[in-house]
Chain A
C-alpha cells in the first residue's frame, strides 16, 4: 500500500495551485519543497501580472491556459483573500507600422477569447494615461489585465491547501524517484525520507528536467531565461494608471512599466538566455536597457526612484508549456516549462492536471466539506484609517510599527511567523517589511528579535533565506 495518493514536487505557484485544487477530493497528498519556505523559486521573482492573453499564439497551450487562468484567478483571489487589482494594460505603438501590428495583435487575441479589447488613440491616452510619451500614437487596451502579489498568492494557496489536508514539507529536496513497477507507483526519495506514492506531479520549475530524468523521462531540457526587474519607490505609485507594454518581439513581451499590487511601480524585465539555474545577478547593462526602454514609453521615470532590483529565471522548455502524463512512467505527470504566463495560468493548469490524473485512473471523490475561504490577512498599508483604528483596538500590536518605509506592524510580522515564515525573506514576502526604500536598515534587527523570540532560534541562526544565508556570523562573546 502506498502511503500517499499524490506527491507534488515544487512549492511554487504551480505546485500550490495544483495542491489546493486536489485538496477538494478525498486524497492523501504531500507537497515537497527543497527550500526553507515556499515561493522561493521562480514564483518569487516575476512581474506579478495576471495577463489577459494578448501576447500568445492562438494555437498555444500557454495562450489557452492564460485566458482561462485570468478568468479563474479572480475567483481564487476572492476566496483566498488575496488582492487582485484589475488595472488593464496598454500595448503601445509609436508609428503607423506599429498601429497596424496592434490591429493584428487584437485579432489574434480575440481568436483566443480575450474579452473587451479596444484600440485607443491619442485623445483617449492623454485623458487616461497622462504620463505616457507624446510619441505614442495608439495603443491596444486590454481591460482584463491585472496585478497580484505572487508570493502572497502562493502562501495563501498553500495555507488553504493545508487547511484542507495537504501535508507540506519544506527543506525536503527530492533526490531520486524509484518506479515500483507498472501501476504500483513510485518511491520518492528526499532529504527528509521516502514517500511511497501512486502519482507524482512534477512542478519543480527550473529543475523540472532533473526531476523528470529521475523518473526515467528525458525528453526536454529547461533553459533559464533571465529577467532583471527594477522596483521604484512607492512615492511614484501613480506614475501610470495601467500596465504599459511595448509591442512584443518573438522572444519576449519586452520591457514593461508595471504596477505592483502593493503600489510600487516596477520596470523590466529583460530577457536573456543563460546556463546557470542559480544565477540571479543583475547587471549594469540590464539596468541601462530597462531604463531606456521604459523611459521611451514613460519619460517621467527617473533612475533616482529605483529602490530595489532583482532577477528571475523563466524556466523555458521550448516555446510552450509541457503538461502531460508520461506513458512510459505510468503515474508520472510533468508540469514543466512553466514560463510566463505561468502565474496567470496556475489555476487553469491545476484544473488540467486534475483532468489528466482522472484520465489516468485516479478516483476523485469530493470531500464532504471543502474549506473554500480563507480570511484575508490585514495589512496596515492597505487599509483606511478607520479600519486601522479598529484593528489597533482589537490588537494593540497593530499600533507598533516595525518597518518604517512600508508601514508594517508587529502584529503582521508575528502573524507571518505564525503562518510559517522562518526566514527574513519569508517575512518580507508576506508583509513587505524590508522591501522599502531603506532596505531593512531600520527593521532588520527588530525582525531578527521577533523571529528569535517566537521561534526560539538564537539570533545568530536567523537567516535571510535558509541555511547558509545567516545574517550574522556570530555573537561577540562566543568567538
Chain B
C-alpha cells in the first residue's frame, strides 16, 4: 500500500487546476493519476478555438489551453504525475485500486479530489428505436476519430441533439466535405451556446429542427436513414408529421453525464438524476475528504468555469488536510 496526502484522479483541466491550487495552498505530497497517455483530458480533441476567453482573456484552442497548465504542473516539486494509470476502485476509507501496464497498485489517500469528467449520453439513453448498424457515434467519439485519428466517420450526417459538441461537429463534418443533413432537437430550444448555433450551423446553412425527434433508425449493416417526427408538448409524436432523411451516419449529442461511478462505489450519497454527489458545500461529498470538481461535479459550458471550480476544490482539500 502506498500512502499519499492528496490524490487527484483525472488529468484534464479540472485535475490540473486542482493540483496547482492545492500545491499553492501548501500540499506538497500530491499524486495525480490519469488513465490516458497524456494530460489534457477532453481538450486534446477540441482543436477549435473558443477556450480561455474568461480565464486568460485570450482566444485559445483546446490543446493550447491545456498546454498552459501542463507546462505549469510539470515542474511543481512534490507533485507526481502518473499517466496510463486507471483508477478502477475506491473504498469508503479512501483506498484506490490503480491499473497500470504491468502494475496493480493500492493507494491510500488522506484526501482525494475526483476530476474524472463526463461521458456522453448514448443513443440507448435517448431511447431511439430501430436497428443497430454501424455508423452511429456519440459526437465526442466522432470528434476523436476525425481530430485525433484522421478518419472520416461518414458522409451524410444527421445529428441527434443540439448540444455544443454536436454543433461543433456539424461544422467539423462540413469542413471535411461531408454533408450534414440536419440537427434534430426534441426540446423547443437548444442547450448549446448561441455562438455555436450561429458559427456552426447558420453560417453553413445546416437546418436545425426544434421540437422534433428521430423516431427510427434504418439500415442493416450501415445506417441508411432515419425517420423524423415533430413532437407535441409531452414529447409525443404528432400524427402525420413524419419525414425520412437519407443518411449514412448519426451523431448523438444529447448531453453529458458526470462520471462518478468511483465515488458511488465508495458510498457517497448521489443525486440519481444528475449522477453527481449531493453536497452541502460546493465540491464536497457526504464522505469527508472526498472532493469532486470540474465536469464530474457539474457539467459546465466552458472550460474557464471548470478551472475556477477546480481551483476552489484544490484549496478546500488543502484546508481539509491542514485541519486533520
B312 contacts chain A at the CB level, 8 A cutoff: no
A365 CB within 8 Å of chain B: no
Specify the chain A residue showing the minimal Cβ separation from B248: A473
Q: How many residues of A are in contact with the other chain, CB < 8 A? A: 57
Bound CA–CA A440/B122 (angstroms)? 10
Q: Check B119 against A472 for contact (C-beta < 8 Å).
A: no
Contact flags A116-153 to B (C-beta < 8 A → 1, else 0): 00000000000000000000000000000000000000
Contact in complex: A235, B119 (CB < 8 Å) = no
Q: A472 contacts which of B99, B138, B152 (Cβ < 8 Å)?
A: B152
A189 within 8 A of B: no
B120 touches A441 (CB 8 A): yes
A392 touches which one: B103, B138, B149 (CB < 8 A)?
Answer: B103
| Contact call A235/B264, Cβ cutoff below 8 A | yes
The answer on a CB contact under 8 Å between A477 and B133 is no
The stretch of B1-9, B68-76, B215-223 in contact with A is B215-223
Interface assignment of A379: CB less than 8 Å from any CB of chain B:
no
User: How would residues 143 to 163 of chain B score, 1 for a CB under 8 Å from any chain A CB and 0 otherwise?
Assistant: 011101111111100000000
Q: Chain A contacts of B264 at CB under 8 A?
A: 235
**Interface pair A400/B133, CB less than 8 Å apart:** no
User: Cβ of A306 and Cβ of B124 under 8 Å apart?
Assistant: yes
Complex Cα gap A338–B132 (Å): 24
Chain B residues near A307 (CB-CB < 8 A): 122, 124-125
Once the chains bind, are B124 and A476 in contact (CB under 8 Å)?
no
Residue from the list B125, B133, B217, B249 in contact with A469, Cβ < 8 A? B133
User: Could you tell me the distance in whole angstroms from the C-beta of B320 to the nearest C-beta in chain A?
Assistant: 28
B140 contacts partner chain A, Cβ-Cβ < 8 Å: yes
Q: Smallest CB-CB separation from A470: which chain B residue? A: B134
Q: Is A274 positioned at the interface, with any CB of B under 8 Å from its CB?
A: no
With A and B bound together, what is the CA distance between A400 and B84 in angstroms? 8
Q: Inside 8 A of B134's CB, which chain A residues have their CB?
A: 463-465, 469-471
- Contact among B35, B141, B152, B154 with A441 in the assembled complex (CB-CB below 8 Å): B141
- Find out whether the CB atom of A404 lies under 8 angstroms from the CB atom of B155: no
Q: How far is it, in angstroms, between the C-alpha of A470 and the C-alpha of B217 when the chains are bound?
A: 17
Q: Count B interface residues, CB 8 Å.
A: 51
Within 8 Å of chain B (Cβ to Cβ): is A474? yes
Query: Would you list which residues of chain A between 309 and 345 have a CB under 8 Å from chain B?
Result: 309-310
Q: Determine whether the beta carbon of B151 is less than 8 Å from that of A235.
A: no
Q: Do B101 and A397 touch (CB < 8 A)?
A: yes
Q: Contact between A445 and B149 (Cβ–Cβ < 8 Å)?
A: yes
Interface string of A270-287 (1 = CB under 8 A from B): 000000001111111011
Give the distance to chain A from B104, nearest Cβ to Cβ, in Å.
Answer: 5
B210 to chain A, nearest CB (A): 21
The verdict on B127 contacting chain A, using a C-beta distance below 8 Å, is yes
The one of B97, B131, B155, B216 in contact with A280, judged by C-beta atoms closer than 8 angstroms, is B131
A416 to B37, CA, bound (A): 24
B189 at interface (Cβ–Cβ under 8 A)?
no
Query: Chain B's nearest CB lies how many Å from the CB of A449?
Result: 8
Residue A182 interfacial (CB < 8 Å): no
User: Among B86, B99, B140, B222, which residue has its beta carbon within 8 angstroms of that of A470?
Assistant: B222
Task: Flag if B129 contacts A284 (CB, 8 Å).
Answer: yes
Q: How far is the CA of A310 from the CA of B130 in the complex (A)?
A: 9
Query: Mind listing 12 A-B residue pairs with CB under 8 Å?
Result: A281-B131, A281-B216, A287-B127, A309-B124, A310-B132, A389-B104, A396-B102, A441-B122, A464-B221, A469-B134, A472-B152, A472-B154
Q: Measuring CB to CB, which residues of chain B are less than 8 angstroms from any residue of chain A?
A: 35, 84, 86, 88, 97, 99-104, 119-120, 122-125, 127, 129-134, 138, 140-141, 144-146, 148-155, 176-177, 215-217, 220-222, 248-249, 261, 264, 272
8 shortest A-B CB distances, which residue pairs?
Answer: A396-B102, A468-B221, A464-B134, A469-B221, A469-B134, A401-B86, A472-B151, A400-B101
Binding site for B on A (CB under 8 A): 235, 278-284, 286-287, 303-304, 306-310, 385, 388-389, 392, 396-397, 399-401, 404, 407, 409-410, 437-442, 444-445, 448, 459-460, 463-477, 479
New contact pairs (7) apart from A401-B88, A473-B152, CB-CB < 8 Å: A279-B131, A281-B217, A282-B130, A307-B124, A392-B102, A399-B103, A440-B141
